Amino acid sequence: MSGERRWRFALSKRWLGYLGLLIVFAIACGFLSHWQFERRDERVSENARITGNFDREPVPIESELASLDAFSINQEWTPVLLQGRYLTDEQLLARSRPHNGLPGFEILTPFETQDGRVFIVNRGWIPTGDAQDSPDHVPAPPEGDATVVARLKPGEPEIPGRSAPAGQIATIHLPQFAAELGADRVYTGAYGLLSAERPSAETGALTTKPALDEGNHLSYAFQWIIFAIIALLGLIFGLRAEYRDRNPDDPKVREALARERERAGRRRRTDAEIEDELLDRAGA
């Protein structure tokens, strides 16, 4: 029988089905691996922004944000300086904000600068109340003129279908503040995480410098590649094993089996194998 005829079984529906499954699995592994590489790239970029911006000297907000809707992701974590007063009556609580595994809120207080523009300041996280969903206590900002240092963060998109009761907001969606306070004076490109304020006042738990950690994305990306390779090797091994079973008279198969028996004969027997042989002899 020719070599091509001996391998004809590989074109059966069963093996073509296995090949199809391998292709689908390999494509899925490729997508998942690429996604993990992208996640790692995002973390690397985030770490670079933290390293370059977090500890910079504060700059006046008007020099960092040229217009109300101006913001570039490269400006994230940049400290900006504001002078003016808090609009306490316009304060909202962002709901469903976890912190160290606990549910809570973030205090979003509009800050009116000396030129009349309004910048949203996140004054920290507070927990939900002991007996109700709303917090037991909301720290009040300083009254009158104040100086604030806050780090820039991008606003959040509005989530369709998610609502919030009066005095709360579902996400940090800055256009919602603009709709209430005036689109011609509210910064909608970014808000700020409070770093310091003078005069000082009680705040919620403020955001600390994030750890510069890339996570496990790189190892996960390589794992998906390895899974695809293992699946391919499994298919090849299965084809080889069935070929041997179907073609025991093939000289190459006989040579391979002879080599395997020779290697097995040279292999040092284990204690268990010796014990089994002695028991077999005793029972004979």
**Average pLDDT score, the chain:** 88
User: Which two tokens mark 221?
Assistant: 């990306």
On the CB side of 166, CA atoms within 13 Å amount to 1
Q: Is residue 112 part of a domain?
A: yes
Q: How much is the CA Rg of the chain, to the nearest whole Å? A: 33
205-215 pLDDT, tens digit per residue, is: 999 998 888 88
97-134 pLDDT, tens digit per residue, is: 998 889 999 999 999 999 999 999 999 999 998 878 88
Q: Which residue has the higher pLDDT, 244 or 168?
A: 168
Looking at the structure, do residues 24 and 97 belong to the same domain, yes or no? Answer: no
Q: Is residue 280 part of a domain?
A: no
129-181 pLDDT, tens digit per residue, is: 887 888 999 999 999 999 999 999 999 998 888 888 888 999 999 999 999 99
What is the extent of the structural domain holding 106? 56-198
* Least confident window among 61-75, 79-93, 101-115, 249-263: 249-263
Q: Is residue 204 part of a domain?
A: no
Q: Is residue 282 part of a domain?
A: no
Burial 150-171 (b: 16+ CB within 10 A, else e): bbbbebeeeeeeeeeeeebbbb
Looking at the structure, do residues 84 and 192 belong to the same domain, yes or no? Answer: yes
Looking at the structure, do residues 115 and 186 belong to the same domain, yes or no? Answer: yes
Q: Is residue 278 part of a domain?
A: no
pTM (2 decimals)? 0.73
Q: Where are the beta strands (DSSP E) in the chain?
A: 59-60, 79-86, 92-94, 104-113, 118-127, 145-154, 168-169, 190-198
Looking at the structure, do residues 61 and 45 belong to the same domain, yes or no? Answer: no
d(CA 96, CA 80): 27
Question: What is the residue whose two structure tokens read 């976890």?
Answer: 98
CA angle, 105 then 110 then 116, to 5°: 175
Would you state the pLDDT for residue 284? 54
Closest CA to 213 of 73, 51, 37: 51
Question: What is the residue whose two structure tokens read 């293992």?
Answer: 230
Determine the distance from the C-alpha atom of residue 81 to the mean position of all C-alpha atoms in its chain, rounded to a whole number.
31
Looking at the structure, do residues 22 and 105 belong to the same domain, yes or no? Answer: no
Looking at the structure, do residues 35 and 82 belong to the same domain, yes or no? Answer: no
Looking at the structure, do residues 134 and 166 belong to the same domain, yes or no? Answer: yes
Domain count, the chain: 2
* Least confident window among 41-45, 82-86, 159-163, 187-191: 159-163
Is the separation of the CB atoms in 148 and 194 below 8 Å? yes
47-72 pLDDT, tens digit per residue, is: 889 999 999 999 999 999 999 999 99
d(CA 157, CA 176): 10
182 φ, ψ (degrees, to nearest 5): 115, 115
DSSP for 21-73 reads: HHHHHHHHHHHHHHHHHHHHHHHHHHHHHHHHHTTSPPEEHHHH-SSTT---G
Q: Is residue 39 part of a domain?
A: yes
Looking at the structure, do residues 190 and 153 belong to the same domain, yes or no? Answer: yes
CA torsion angle 108 113 117 119 (round to 10):
-20
Looking at the structure, do residues 46 and 100 belong to the same domain, yes or no? Answer: no
- Number of Cβ within a 10 Å radius of residue 261: 10
d(CA 57, CA 48): 17
